Amino acid sequence: MNKENLMHGGEFLLKSTRFNDVFIPEEFDEEVKMMTGTCDDFLKAEVFPNLDRIDAQEKGIMENLLKKSGEYGLLGISIPAEYEGFEQNFLTSMRTNESIGAGHSFSVAFMAHTGIGTLPLLYYGNDEQKQKYIPKLASGEMLAAYCLTEPGAGSDANSGTSRAVLSDDGKHYILNGQKMWITNGGFADLLTVFAKIDNDRILSAFLVERKWEGVVINPEEKKMGIKGSSTTQIFFNDVKVPVENLLGKRGEGFRIALNILHIGRIKLGGTVLGACKRAISLSVQYANERKQFGTFISSFGAIKHKIAEQVIKTFATESAVYRASSDVNNMIQYLKDSGKSYGESNIGGVAEFAIEAALLKVFGSESLDFVADEAVQIFGGMGFSSEAPVDRSYRDSRINRIFEGTNEINRLLVIDTLIKKAPKGDFPLFEKASQIIDAINNNSGNNQEVPADFFEENEYYINRFKNAVLMLIYLVDQKYHKTLMSEQEILINLSDMLINVYVCESTLLRIQKHESLKGENNYFRKILDVLIYDAATAIEKSGMDVLNSCAECINAEDYFRALHHFTRVKGKNVKEFRRYIANKIIEDNYYSF
């Protein structure tokens, strides 16, 4: 992978991407399909028949399921061969995460173990630590949890009060503190615990074994959803942690926590896909069985609208997830080829795409919430009953807007990270934005004709959406500059615009590449038409809110006109387009795209 061909985080806003340079899910090879088939088979055989027992937290059931998934090899998919794993790349791990994502509470436990539970050690541990623990984590002999959050330290993780003090003999850190919302806390054998050494300002990280004296596990928390996931508080009372179990360097814990959260965000974007597709399949199967007024409800226009919207959001999420995952995968490989270590390459590859990871987390979690909500609505009264399967889908979906940093935090992160990249010479954010401002002030570039070609037309719209975002970033920076980060409502508006841009462009690129490989697909084209049509309205609304927030100190009328121009698209018969999309799913009786 040449450096010149690499995509960088946030760069999509400033330059066009060729469809040949993106990866689409239709390109996965037979080996990956076999691995995901194993994941699907495991869910069908071991998880789905036991969902009620899992939600009731029957003693030992989740722990045993995780260990059994280790016997299938599922816990070691991303782990290097030297630690008895399968050493699959980032793209493959994302695809298997998608499959496991349909597993409700099991999915949460699985992702906590393989993600935040295992990756800090895998990426930051020394050889002795990894040799001691990683093979056991890959097999399921040991299960893992991640202990960061405290009662007074949620989004502001570094404000935690847990402390570690070196013992008089210099052989142990004496750890004291309290952690909460610990996934897998009820049974995990190995805990990654974040605490400050002495009076340090910054966290350090420690590998703590559950069996050590002073580790106290509270009873299980009662939750709205993901009821089968073990969630506990854990207390550390004078726990003696061997000095060799310091993970990474002293004071490196906060960096470890942030980088692991980047990974968790993009992986959550993949995980929700499995849940979306399962909820859509349940929706359409019920609609094809339920009769009202003497006919199946799947024939009603209102139901078709719901099914089509479920599909569009899921398809768009999937397009964006695998585009970003491929970019991460390419960056990881480039860093490896440049001589970086395994951990440095994986950390750096994901960190480069922190913007994309955050926006995928937001869009994916909110898409799943929408899909699950509409599934309940399609089921009607039965949807509100715990006897129907979508009750669980609805309850379980809600946590994803809180996991890995709330969606509000992630929206702020998207724009904050983008603007902080601007001073770098290879990221000319404000240079590009000022060109757009000059064009508006000179009243130039407003008379272009919309291209007739399908792909050129939609690329034209997306480029104008980008212009709208750049124009507004420039204007708000001019008004607020150093105080911009305190204007959270404006940042959230800008972030929503950027999310729409990335998702629309990713969907366009996917369809372009798909057609270059397999020929024209009218279903996919209709998905893009509706997506762009709706995004134009959403982008204009967010942009209007931004402009109205700073209209008193700019020549507002020119920019209102420009915004309207940038977000104007041709009218589409979206009612018929949605029916066309829904009819395909209704005929197939499951999510088939």
- Residues annotated as catalytic are 404
DSSP letter for 543, please.
Answer: H
Tell me how far apart the alpha carbons of residues 67 and 140 are, in angstroms, rounded to a whole number: 5
Exposed, middle or buried: residue 551 (CB in 10 Å: 0-12, 13-18, 19+)? middle
Tell me how far apart the alpha carbons of residues 153 and 157 are, in angstroms, rounded to a whole number: 5
Tell me how far apart the alpha carbons of residues 10 and 419 are, in angstroms, rounded to a whole number: 10
Q: Where would I find the H helices in 288-389?
A: 301-337, 342-351, 354-379
Q: Is 558 left (phi over 0), alpha (psi -120 to 50) or beta?
A: alpha
Angle at 47 between CA 45 and CA 53, to 5 degrees: 125
Tell me how far apart the alpha carbons of residues 313 and 311 are, in angstroms, rounded to a whole number: 6
Q: Which two tokens stand for residue 143?
A: 């299960």
| Closest among 526, 522, 531 to 569, alpha carbons compared | 531
User: CB of 165 within 8 A of CB of 197?
Assistant: yes
Tell me how far apart the alpha carbons of residues 279 and 394 are, in angstroms, rounded to a whole number: 9
Q: Is 140 left (phi over 0), alpha (psi -120 to 50) or beta?
A: left
User: CB of 213 within 8 A of CB of 194?
Assistant: no
Q: Amino acid identity, residue 64?
A: N
Q: Which two tokens stand for residue 480?
A: 């607020």
Strands 190-197 and 163-166: parallel
Question: DSSP labels for 189-209?
Answer: SEEEEEEEETT-SS-EEEEEE
| Closest among 97, 121, 136 to 265, alpha carbons compared | 97
Q: Amino acid identity, residue 349?
A: G
C-alpha separations of 471 from 60, 411, 431, 501 in Å? 56, 19, 11, 14
Q: Amino acid identity, residue 478?
A: Q
Tell me how far apart the alpha carbons of residues 22 and 486 are, in angstroms, rounded to a whole number: 35
Tell me how far apart the alpha carbons of residues 175 and 165 are, in angstroms, rounded to a whole number: 7
Question: DSSP labels for 361-409?
Answer: HHHHHHHHHHHHHHHHHHHGGGGGSTTSTHHHHHHHHGGGGTTTS-HHH
- Please, which residues have CB within 8 angstroms of residue 44's CB and are 6 or more apart in sequence? none
DSSP letter for 117, please.
Answer: I
H or E, element range at 139: helix 127-139
